[in-house]
Amino acid sequence: MIEAFQNGILIYFIGVNLIYLALFCVSCAVIIHYRWVWRFRGPDEILKARVTPPISVIVPAYNEEANIVTSVRALLKLNYPQYEILVVNDGSTDGTLKALEGAFSLRKTAHVYHRLLPTASVKSIYRSREHPHLWVLDKENGGKADALNTGINFSQYPLFCSLDADSLLDKDSLIRVVRPYMDRFQEVVAVGGIVRVANGCRIRDGLIEEVDLPKAWLPSFQVVEYLRAFLSGRLAWSHWNSLLIISGAFGVFKKQPVIEIGGYATDTVGEDMEMVVRLHRYLRDRGRKYHIHFIPDPVCWTEVPQDWTILGRQRNRWQRGLAQSLTRHRGMFSNPRYGALGLLAMPFFVGVELLSPVVELFGYAFFFAALLADRVSWESMAAFFLLSVCMGMLLSVLAVLLEEFTLSRYPRVTSLLKLFLVAALENFGYRQMTGFYRLQGLWDFLRNRNAWGAMTRKGLEAKT
């Protein structure tokens, strides 16, 4: 019995690591092809084309007093011909609205719009005197999804960009992310891009002046984690039109199909993933040709948790959102009707993303207990360590190398050396703790706990 458990755990990790290596290889090919195709078509050439579709940038904000002014200032400097900014104040209890009023000369205005999606009531609408394309919607609290739906109702353009209030965009972000729409506007329904960690970067007036690593270890671990997640996985799934997640921090969507499916779901803590999966299901069920795209460009910078408590709440919520989305759309699991999405992506997200913390933490406990009872060999223990820890280190180092050879956003040699060190050390403690938080999230999902969890911000202007 013990030998069967031991072999089962080892086989699981062998399979998982082979899948991750395969995804990494596909991602490498995709990013090389992307760089080759777009090498002569930069932001200036795209602007000259004069066919860029207008975009509504929707920023849901709840108690974001620390970051909201910095974020909006960055949005006002975007290099894009036609866009509007819609900040949706979702019943904040802090000084979010007052900070916006003071910084951007807001005035109340009467404005008629179509309420296509049901939302909590909007109390007041403000427009900036200095920046006429900046609007602030002050509404009753209804949650992030409800705030996004309010922004969709109010928006006047065919594309909308969802952006977290604690995130910053590069000046050319919209130009880069809109390129798939310009090539295949009828087919592309959503585009995501690489989200990077803003902690440690030098920020002035809402723009990243200098990219650097955080001084603290906890946000540094998340830098490598973000690199691995975005560069190694999402590119491959996008290549097969099976991308299940576009980060809630930043994504650009075609408004009409989102309205057709009823907007963001307000009864889940993972509204970003759930809507992407629902888009897939809706469009495939109707036989419509479409693509959900991911570009390997670092277009968004976000503040990550700087203490274990906040990190734990975040990972708990992410895991609950993942479980909610997968169970809600379980009919797609291993269903050939959905192609690679049903036969590859859904099984991967269930077997690896959802259940890996259960298997990994159980594996640690099992091998430790079996070793104390002298029921497992040192060879088996070494194999488990190699598969669970050393392969994790390899994947992280490969992600750092891919970043350096393709994006080079960390030009300092000292930063690269620290990235390699962090890539090794994250597997000793950090990985196990995040696995524990994810396991807690899975347990809370089974107990039907749906709380969001407070996320305290220190502010994007701070260098940490």
CATH of the domain at 143: 3.90.550.10
Does residue 51 share a domain with residue 68? Answer: yes
Which pLDDT belongs to residue 42? 66
Does residue 214 share a domain with residue 147? Answer: no
Does residue 286 share a domain with residue 148? Answer: no
Q: For residue 181, give its domain range.
A: 1-40+167-451
Q: What are the Cα distances from residue 358, in Å, to 363, 365, 370, 420, 432?
A: 8, 11, 18, 27, 11
DSSP 458: -
pLDDT in tens, 75-96: 999 999 999 999 999 999 999 9
In 3D, which of 367, 366, 365, 360 has the Cα closest to residue 388? 360
Which pLDDT belongs to residue 409? 78
In a domain, 190, yes or no: yes
In whole angstroms, give the CA distance from residue 263 to residue 316: 24
**Of the candidates 165, 192, 218, which is a domain's last residue?**
165
Does residue 393 share a domain with residue 315? Answer: yes
In a domain, 78, yes or no: yes
Which pLDDT belongs to residue 444? 96
- Tell how far CA 461 is from the center of its chain: 21
Does residue 130 share a domain with residue 58? Answer: yes
Q: Which residues of the chain have pLDDT under 70?
A: 39-50, 452-464
In whole angstroms, give the CA distance from residue 243 to residue 315: 20
Residues 6+ apart with CB under 8 A from 303: 67, 166, 167, 198, 199, 457, 458, 459, 460
In a domain, 462, yes or no: no
Which pLDDT belongs to residue 40? 65
Strand partners, 107: 127
Does residue 318 share a domain with residue 264? Answer: yes
In a domain, 125, yes or no: yes
In 3D, which of 129, 151, 134, 138 has the Cα closest to residue 206? 134
Domains held by the chain: number: 2
**Of the candidates 145, 165, 185, which is a domain's last residue?**
165
Task: Please check whether residue 195 is in contact with residue 225, taking contact to mean a CB–CB distance below 8 angstroms.
Answer: no
In a domain, 336, yes or no: yes
- Dihedral of the CA atoms 233, 236, 240, 243 (nearest 10)? 30
Helix (H) or strand (E) holding 369: helix 356-372
In whole angstroms, give the CA distance from residue 224 to residue 350: 23
Does residue 48 share a domain with residue 33? Answer: no
Task: Please check whether residue 134 is in contact with residue 59, taking contact to mean a CB–CB distance below 8 angstroms.
Answer: no
Instruction: Fill in the amino acid letter for 338.
Output: Y
Strand partners, 85: 57, 134
Does residue 161 share a domain with residue 171? Answer: no
Which pLDDT belongs to residue 464? 44
Does residue 264 share a domain with residue 117? Answer: no
Residues 6+ apart with CB under 8 A from 441: 315, 316, 317, 318, 319, 320, 323
Task: Please check whether residue 111 is in contact with residue 29, taking contact to mean a CB–CB distance below 8 angstroms.
Answer: no
The pair of three-digit structure tokens given for residue 338, joined into one six-digit string: 């959905």
Q: Which single residue is written with the structure tokens 């995040």?
A: 434
Does residue 60 share a domain with residue 3? Answer: no
In a domain, 460, yes or no: no
**Of the candidates 141, 165, 189, which is a domain's last residue?**
165
Task: Please check whether residue 265 is in contact with residue 145, taking contact to mean a CB–CB distance below 8 angstroms.
Answer: yes
In a domain, 463, yes or no: no
In whole angstroms, give the CA distance from residue 262 to residue 283: 13
Half-sphere exposure of 420 (CA within 13 A, CB side): 8
In a domain, 305, yes or no: yes
Does residue 268 share a domain with residue 141? Answer: no
Residue 112, classified by CB atoms within 10 Å of its CB into exposed (0-12), middle (13-18) or buried (19+), is exposed
Which pLDDT belongs to residue 456? 62
| Helices and strands in the chain: count of H runs, count of E runs | 18, 12
Does residue 65 share a domain with residue 22? Answer: no
